[in-house]
Amino acid sequence: MSDTEIEARFNQALQESETGNLAEAIAIFESILSERPGMDRVRMELALANFRALNYASARSLAEQVLSNPATPESVKGTVRAFLQEVEEQSHTHLWTPYVSLGYIFDTNINVGPGTDTVDVGGATLLLGPASTPQDSGGVQANVGVGHRYLAPRTYQIGGDQAALAWQSQVSLFRNQYIGEGDFNLNVITARTGPVLLSARQWRLQLNAQADHISIGNDSIAWYAGVTPGFTWFLGGRTALTASFQAQDRDFTRSTLQDRDALYLAGGLSLGHQFDTVINPSVNLGVQVFTENADRSRRSNEGYSVNAGLNLQPFNNSNLYFSYNRRTRDYDGPEPVFVITRDEIEQR
| Residue 321 confidence (pLDDT) | 81
* H/E run at residue 105: strand 94-107
| Residue 69 confidence (pLDDT) | 93
In the sheet that holds 94-107, the strands lie side by side as 94-107, 137-158, 161-178, 186-199, 203-216, 219-234, 239-252, 262-274, 282-294, 301-312, 320-334, 341-347
| Residue 132 confidence (pLDDT) | 60
**284, β-bridge pairs:** 272, 309
| Residue 10 confidence (pLDDT) | 92
Superfamily of domain 94-347 in CATH is monomeric porin ompg (2.40.160.40)
Rounded to whole angstroms, the Cα distance separating 172 from 226 reads 16
Torsion angle in degrees (nearest 10) through CA of 195, 58, 277, 318: 60
Strand segments, DSSP code E, in 159-281 are 161-178, 186-199, 203-216, 219-234, 239-252, 262-274
Rounded to whole angstroms, the Cα distance separating 226 from 263 reads 9
| Residue 120 confidence (pLDDT) | 54
Write out the chain's pLDDT in tens, 348 residues: 788 888 999 999 998 887 777 888 999 999 999 989 989 999 999 999 988 888 888 899 999 999 999 999 998 999 999 999 999 888 888 989 999 988 888 888 787 766 555 555 555 555 555 666 677 889 999 999 999 999 888 888 787 777 889 999 999 999 999 998 888 899 999 999 999 998 876 889 999 999 999 999 989 999 999 999 999 998 876 899 999 999 999 999 998 888 999 999 999 999 999 887 777 789 999 999 999 999 999 899 999 999 999 998 887 767 788 889 999 999 998 877 667 788 889 888
Chain CA centroid to CA 71, Å? 43
Give the global pTM. 0.74
Q: How many CA atoms lie within 13 A of 183 on its CB side?
A: 5
* H/E run at residue 98: strand 94-107
| Residue 199 confidence (pLDDT) | 84
Determine the 3-state secondary structure of 116 from DSSP: coil
- In CATH terms, is domain 3-90 a member of 3.30.420.40? no
Rounded to whole angstroms, the Cα distance separating 300 from 293 reads 5
- The domain limits of the chain are 3-90, 94-347
Q: How many CA atoms lie within 13 A of 115 on its CB side?
A: 6
Which one, of 242, 241, 306, 311, lies nearest residue 281 by Cα?
Answer: 311
Rounded to whole angstroms, the Cα distance separating 26 from 92 reads 23
